[in-house]
Amino acid sequence: MAAPALKHWRATLERVEKFVSPRYFADCNLRGRLLGDTCPLAALSSFLTPDRLPYPEAVRQHFRPAQVGDSFGPTWWTCWFRVELTIPEAWVGQEVHLLWESDGEGLVWRDGQPVQGLTKEGEKTSYILTDKLEEGDPRSLTLYVEVACNGLLGAGKESMIAAPDPEKMFQVSRAELAVFYRDVHSLLVDLELLLGIAKGLGEDNQRSFQALYTANQMVNVCDPAQPETFPVAQALASRFFGQRGGESQHTIHAVGHCHIDTAWLWPFKETVRKCARSWTTAVQLMEQNPDFVFACSQAQQLEWVKSHYPGLHARLQEFACRGQFVPVGGTWVEMDGNLPSGEAMVRQFLQGQNFFLQEFGKMCSEFWLPDTFGYSAQLPQIMRGCGITRFLSQKLSWSLVNSFPHHTFFWEGLDGSRVLAHFPPGDSYGMQGNVEEVLKTMVKNRDKGRTNHSAFLFGFGDGGGGPTQTMVDRLKRLHNTDGLPRVQLSSPGRLFTALEGDSGQLCTWVGELFLELHQGTYTTHAQIKKGNRECERILHDVELLSSLALARGAQFLYPAAQLQDLWRLLLLNQFHDVVTGSCIQLVAEEAMCHYEDIRSRGNTLLSAAAAALCMGEPGPEGLLIVNTLPWERTEVLALPRSGGAHSLGIMPSPGDSAQHGLCSCSCPHLTAARAAPAACIRAVGRPCRLSCRTSPTKTDGSVTLDNGIIRVRLDPTGCLTSLVLVASGREAIAEGAVGNQFVLFDDVPLYWDAWDVMDYHLETRKPVLGQAGTLAVGAEGGMRGSAWFLLQISPNSRLSQEVVLDVGCPYVRFHTEVHWHEAHKFLKVEFPARVRSPQATYEVQFGHLQRPTHHNTSWDWARFEVWAHRWMDLSEHGFGLALLNDCKYGASVRGSTLSLSLLRAPKAPDASADMGRHEFTYALMPHKGSLQDAGVIRAAYSLNFPLLALPAPGPAPAAAWSAFSLSSPAVVLETVKQAESSPQGRTLVLRLYEAHGSHVDCWLRTSLPVQEAVLCDLLERRNPAGHLPFRDARLKLTFSPFQVQSLLLVLGPARTETLPLGL
């Protein structure tokens, strides 16, 4: 034996590195011995198609001879390869692989079933034909390899997030059989781990030197040309890895994972195949490793696999029964955490949890959302209402300014609900099982001393791919090794059980989890965001009218299946790279088609419900006026008249506190009309006589609109110079400033174009100056006064706007049309307010929250651009100013200036994002007192849910009818729908929430034939102690601030005669 030599650290490291290198000395090192003899394929042929064909259809096509080096394409096409092979007799007893290296993403089909994905990017370049060739095994096989002409992360031209290159071509670079030496693979894994330990622990650590010296000695004893030397080297490694750590070692729970974006840099249909490629590989790993657990989220993806790959779905169900395949998340897709409405978030869980229960026998106990762009403060309440108390994410590690202070903590929501939250300290959901990641998971944990367990999610992600056998081998080898944290192949359930058992010292984070990055996603692709808001409204209205039709008529069939389809379509597009606009053009176009489908089919369902509501009524023919909101309101309507023209109309209120109402209008040619409360039916023969009128006046080129509630003054360019609350004479616009000021910013982020707007964009502010003389009077009083103007934003973009003030309306509306053709510009509109407050209020799901208007700390500054739903408000004691909108989400309040983000112009990954014509409305509402007392919340609802004027197919109801009313203005009746599980279909679900931030008792009155009322959770499961006494057509509910409550109303049989109408 050679005498010990003094070892130089760097030289020794590099010696071992070269021994395992695929690049250096592969002719004589260990890596070069991983494969033995090779054999060419018996035959290779191919078929190219622009379509994504199912297997039975593809294999019937005409295949032409092909060879290694052939090119195929272009982007988004598919090339099917028929692989005919014959294994040499001499390979009996050996492990035999098909080696396949090509551009694109491949899927191996064997005996008509998908069996494994193949991607160079995902380190899957071989398929195991047999782990040991036996004498009786068949020697000749025919396989098919389906290759998608796109990479794991799309087909960006020159960079990952660039728009796809439509002409990109692909190539097969390797296709042959080979003998695979498993003992060489095991040695390579050990040597790479030893190198990782030596590097990771560093030169000051004793264990580091032990790892390096062990690896060096393995190189000494291992002769790659003599396999009989391998066991000696293996024994050296086993002795090192067999030295155990102490009982106090940090425990890492390694869970197989494969994050697949439901659409992003590739279209939805390609995701279907990504799921098959990734999950067939996971099935292989579960077969070969009984202790390997694979966590999988997103019910939509599983539903796709069930439809397109039923055999694979059955295997997943089998492994779910074994506890190896674990559905997580509970939602239909991994939705954006900011933009979807509260009701849409509930439906994500309702659809997802029901699917998981139906297909896998149980619901998820963890909410799994690793890659979205922020997390609403109402998510804890929604989670708990859906049976989930655990939350996993990691995206806050991307925050640019501040490091989030915890990895394991309790997250407390807007209403006080708490869930246990865990962020993997390795700050990734795509680990590969190397030592550096394992050490980072332990060292970077910000809750040392409070908890001793962490998640470790391993597997290629975003574009799919998932774990590999090599990753599993690494983690198994590191199971319990001195100097490292303890590693165990685990499951989400075991992780959270361990965290719960060690949670006594955990801290609590209260409120939203705000991502200090990707703030451009609140604005990018404005048409997608408009489609989302409109379709949320349409589905709300369809469910309400269908529920009322169900309650009133025995013959009406509630369209449950159609509504489920439409909801699932909307939920699909709320995926965190779709509704945010951070997707390629193909995806954006698909989303717009989906929204149009929801609009079209939704309107058809609305008409059907309206027809059912009118059936058997004695009133005159005309219009059915529907108020879908839970309070009485008055609005100016544009009613149809002969010749296709419209006239303004307003329906009189049915009186009392009637809400959710319907009424009929037999005289559609009214000069003005007033709107009925939500769910009333009434005949109106003539217009109301209202004393107030709007009267535009024009002096010195400016225009004044005054409806007796507010007075608006516009300068000759269309800027707002004055906004006065008439009763008090209080001015809302800051002295010396103008509102409705359009401003343009340079918008060039550091990298993530569609995602990011950087703080430095604020330094490039340029007011868009209008031209005097473009302001003109539109409607000249009566029920509506208006003025309009044109504005040239730039040589390429222009804007036109109608400023509208209706009789009786507490806010002024700005109907805006923009023709937008810019590059890396950001358009906003500003309103400097004569209000001073250190915080502004923003609507979120089922409530609102405050954010600072100052920049005292880095946490304040990082919120230079935030998100809101239908309104934001800046108030001081006794007075405030609210900015409402019908389809925008990006916003900010800096100092006393309210700013609404309108349009961006990023060029990646969609170069056409936001280009073209846009229409949207925002509104400004000055108010006395608090926003709650002034009715800001109701005003924003009214802007987003205008009264419906539906053609009555026959006689309309002769009198007004109201279904529901609430005694407290603090409570909103958000949703009325049929219960998912409803005997005879006559059970309704009502969802209400407290909107003011107060404790309140509220009486719900209904005219429906209610037999039983009981509280339920958000999944519509009865609360055993939730029975509600129902007497005198009403029941009592008690709310805490921002609490969401759901209840089941079991209805009696529908009456066949005409119902008595009114309350």
> Which residues are marked as active site?
371
Please state, as a whole number, how many other Cβ atoms lie within 10 Å of the Cβ of residue 251: 18
Q: Which residues contact 422 (CB under 8 A, 6 or more apart)?
A: 390, 391, 392, 407, 408, 454, 455, 495, 496, 499
CA distances from 756 to 97, 109, 744, 778 (A): 45, 41, 16, 39
**In sequence order, what E strands does 75-119 have?**
78-86, 95-102, 105-110, 113-118
Q: Which residues contact 947 (CB under 8 A, 6 or more apart)?
A: 625, 626, 627, 633, 635, 637, 651, 675, 676
Closest by alpha carbon to 617, among 558, 543, 554, 683?
683
Task: Give the whole-angstrom CA distance, residue 797 versus residue 55.
Answer: 49
Residue 194 is encoded by which pair of tokens?
A: 């030893």
The secondary structure of 531-555, three-state, reads: HHHHHHHHHHHHHHHHHHHHHHCCC
Residue 795 is encoded by which pair of tokens?
A: 């040589």
Q: What is the dihedral of CA 551, 556, 558, 561, to 10 degrees?
A: 170
Closest by alpha carbon to 734, among 555, 515, 512, 894?
894
Task: Give the whole-angstrom CA distance, residue 389 versus residue 503.
Answer: 13
Task: Give the whole-angstrom CA distance, residue 102 versus residue 147.
Answer: 8
Closest by alpha carbon to 688, among 635, 628, 763, 753?
635
Task: Give the whole-angstrom CA distance, residue 543 versus residue 564.
Answer: 11
Largest CA distance in the chain: 111
Length of the chain: 1063
Please check whether residue 754 is in contact with residue 909, taking contact to mean a CB–CB distance below 8 angstroms. Answer: yes
Residue 861 is encoded by which pair of tokens?
A: 């500054």
Task: Give the whole-angstrom CA distance, residue 103 versus residue 172.
Answer: 7
Q: Which residues contact 736 (CB under 8 A, 6 or more apart)?
A: none
Residue 801 is encoded by which pair of tokens?
A: 């706007």
Please name the residue that has the structure tokens 């229960």.
357
Closest by alpha carbon to 388, among 441, 341, 425, 345?
345
Q: What sign for the dihedral angle of Cα 892, 894, 898, 900?
A: negative
For the stretch 7-16, contacts whose Cβ atoms lie closer than 8 Å and that sit 24 or more positions apart, written own/partner, are 7/212, 7/213, 7/216, 9/203, 9/212, 12/212, 12/213, 12/216, 13/195, 13/198, 13/199, 13/212, 15/216, 15/219, 16/191, 16/194, 16/195, 16/212, 16/215, 16/216, 16/219
Task: Give the whole-angstrom CA distance, residue 616 versus residue 521.
Answer: 49
Closest by alpha carbon to 868, among 535, 519, 601, 618?
519
Apex 1015 CA angle, 1013 and 1020, nearest 5:
105
Which residues are bridge partners to 318 per DSSP?
none
Task: Give the whole-angstrom CA distance, residue 508 versus residue 416.
Answer: 11
Q: Which residues contact 307 (CB under 8 A, 6 or more apart)?
A: none
Residue 762 is encoded by which pair of tokens?
A: 């604020």
Please check whether residue 375 is in contact with residue 409, taking contact to mean a CB–CB distance below 8 angstroms. Answer: no
Q: What is the dihedral of CA 896, 902, 907, 910, to 10 degrees?
A: 140
Please check whether residue 352 is in contact with residue 332, taking contact to mean a CB–CB distance below 8 angstroms. Answer: yes
